[in-house]
Amino acid sequence: MTREQLEHLVRAAANIADDPELIVVGSQAVLGQFPNAPAALLTSNEADLFPKNRPERADLIDGTLGELSPFHETFGYYAHGVGEATAVLPQGWRERLIPVTNANTRGATAWCLEIHDLVISKLVAGREKDLGFAREALTHGLIDTATLELRLAATALDAGLRPVVEMRLSQIFAVDS
């Protein structure tokens, strides 16, 4: 997905949800901070998002702009309406959101996760594609280890999950070394 495609989705989702602000929590949130992010980070054709002020309308976005919708079939990309709890994020993530608003969004604002918060959510999710995203972000110099360690420490995790996420983080660093 490109930045322009994300902006198109934001414009359409804001209109459908009747909410001018959307929070982007999936991998395409990288486009907020890095509009020309490396292609390896842009392989997904979906944007996980929810209306900031009307989160209950995420299902409406999903049904209208979601996978296999006429929108998806027409444009080749789609919105996945999710809940705020979809991504496990560090404390303070809302204060670090990156705004995307311009002529293409027609007054709507996409609030995109900051890259370190995004990578923490990927490490918690732990799917191979999420770990690959984290590795690519590190390889391309978009994240630094000290900030990731601080963000992980600020993330509420079950006692059993914390060592698993710490191990994933160590493995990402080891591969980059």
If you average pLDDT over every residue of the chain, what do you get? 97
Q: Convert 95-105 to b/e letters by CB count within 10 Å (16 or more is b).
A: ebbbebbeeeb
pTM exceeds 0.85: yes
Is 163 buried (19+), middle (13-18) or exposed (0-12) by CB count in 10 A?
exposed
What does the DSSP assignment read for 39-96? GGG---SEEEEEESS-GGGHHHHHHHHSTTSHHHHHHS-EEEE--GGGS---TTGGGG
Q: What is the structure's pLDDT at 176?
A: 59
Q: 114-147 pLDDT, tens per residue?
A: 999 999 999 999 999 999 999 999 999 999 999 9
